[in-house]
Structure 1
Amino acid sequence: MKSNFISRISKILLLVFMFSSCSSNLDFDQVNDFKITPVFVANLAYFNVPATQLINDGDAQIIYDVSEFNAFKDKFFRDNLKKAELDFEVENTIVRSFILDIVLLDVNNQVLETDSYNVPAYSGTSNVIKFPTEVFENQRLDLLKKTARLGFIVRMDGGPPLDANSKGSLKLRSGATIYMEIE
């Protein structure tokens, strides 16, 4: 009988404890202060041009390619983008120097901006060049948002002739880091 009484008291106390809780007023206005700042990292462009595709008699030569850049077609993305950083790395194992131009083009193929990078000739040692990060903020970010195509112009400086037996390649790797702010 004593154990039955203790059991009942324990159950009552447990129920009282479970149904008594602390509460506070809820502030639903906190949702107005909600802000997230995601960061995305993505590959931007890549190419690998072997020396055998650059056959010439030693004169300067130009190679040109344009890629669609649809990143800013989405209004949500355009409206919430706060900063972008573009990184470019070139590896040259060809015995010629190059100038790499990266051209930002709008929907009418009008040049918005051109960034040029000097790539030295291969001399037998590692020739990987990581260029300074291109940062797009404020007015420059507005310019990037207007970009519809990326143009790549590779200008080969004068030097030894290249033929079907020429060794090496010119590689470009690039990436983008995108900073957004969503409120």
Structure 2
Amino acid sequence: MNKPLYLLFWSALIMVCFTSCVKDTDFDQADDIVITPVLELDFIYFALDENDYFNPITGEQLLTVSDTTSLNFLDGTFVQEDLKRAEFLFRFENSVNLDFITEFRFLNDNNVLKYELVIDIPAGSTTAPLLLEHIENIEDQGIIDLTRASKVVVNVTVPTSIENIEGALNLQSKTTYFLEI
């Protein structure tokens, strides 16, 4: 290849590389970017049978079994500002021939009620356990109240005396938090 043609070829190639079309970039659009992470966590689980409804020391029957779980992350500034929605999924399996009432009480550090959820669970049987799913979607004012809670107290109540019962009440639950940053 002769020298003038060679130089013309390389000059044209360099010119094409540096004069290609470029659209103006608006870097102010970065302010419009919204990050929406979704966080799924196990929430509460239990398996209660007839032994859980008796005081182990006195043998006295209890109609309500309670437990408290700390929720320290809900009352943080980041969560209070960025949490937009929460969805709780509860899966119950009742193989006891009794109805139950479950109560989820979200309290702050001073034990002031911030949010409450009550789920009735119909009776089942050991041969045909009742399966119940409940989804609780919390938004708007409910989210504001929920983020002010630091613990949840779960009460499981059987509304009648229990004698010679068989089976168990099982709960598996998870929560999904929808954030907007």
Name the TM-score class by shorter chain. Answer: 0.7 to 0.9
Cα drift, residue 15 of structure 1:
2.0
Paired with 2:156 and 2:43, the residues of 1 have a C-alpha distance of 17
Paired with 1:157 and 1:167, the residues of 2 have a C-alpha distance of 16
1:136 matched to 2:134? The reply is: no
1:19 matched to 2:22? The reply is: no
Q: Deviations over 1:3-54 (max 9, x none)?
A: x665444333222222222234332221222222222222111112233333
Q: Is the 8 A contact 1:69 1:147 kept in 2?
A: yes
Cα 1:77–1:180 shift into 2, 3 Å: same
Q: Deviations over 1:119-147 (max 9, x none)?
A: 1222321311112x222222121111111
User: Is the partner of 1:152 in helix, strand or coil?
Assistant: strand
User: Is the partner of 2:30 in helix, strand or coil?
Assistant: helix
- Aligned-pair identity in percent equals 27
TM-score, length basis structure 1: 0.82
Report the residue type matching 2:39 in the other structure. Answer: F
User: Is the partner of 2:20 in helix, strand or coil?
Assistant: coil
Name whichever of 43-52 and 82-91 sits farther off: 43-52
Q: Is the 8 A contact 1:81 1:181 kept in 2?
A: yes
Cα drift, residue 74 of structure 1:
2.6
Residue 126 of structure 1 corresponds to 129
Residue 33 of structure 2 corresponds to 34
Paired with 1:120 and 1:60, the residues of 2 have a C-alpha distance of 19
Q: Identify the structure with bigger relative contact order (alpha carbons < 8 Å, sequence gap 6+).
A: 1
Equivalent residues, number: 177
Paired with 1:108 and 1:35, the residues of 2 have a C-alpha distance of 35
Report the residue type matching 2:124 in the other structure. Answer: Y
Q: Is the 8 A contact 2:96 2:129 kept in 1?
A: no
**5+ unaligned residues in a row in structure 1: which ranges?**
none
Cα drift, residue 106 of structure 1:
1.1
Cα drift, residue 114 of structure 1:
2.7
User: Is the partner of 1:100 in helix, strand or coil?
Assistant: strand
User: Is the partner of 2:73 in helix, strand or coil?
Assistant: coil
Q: Is the 8 A contact 1:78 1:145 kept in 2?
A: yes
Q: Map of 1:145-156 to 2, 5 A cutoff?
A: 145-156=147-158
Q: Map of 1:1-183 to 2, 5 A cutoff?
A: 1-2=1-2, 6-55=5-54, 61-123=63-125, 124-131=127-134, 133-158=135-160, 160-162=162-164, 167-182=166-181
Q: Is the 8 A contact 2:75 2:149 kept in 1?
A: no
Q: Is the 8 A contact 1:51 1:94 kept in 2?
A: no
Q: Is the 8 A contact 1:52 1:167 kept in 2?
A: no
**5+ unaligned residues in a row in structure 2: which ranges?**
none
Q: State the 4+ residue runs in structure 1 displaced beyond 6 angstroms.
A: none
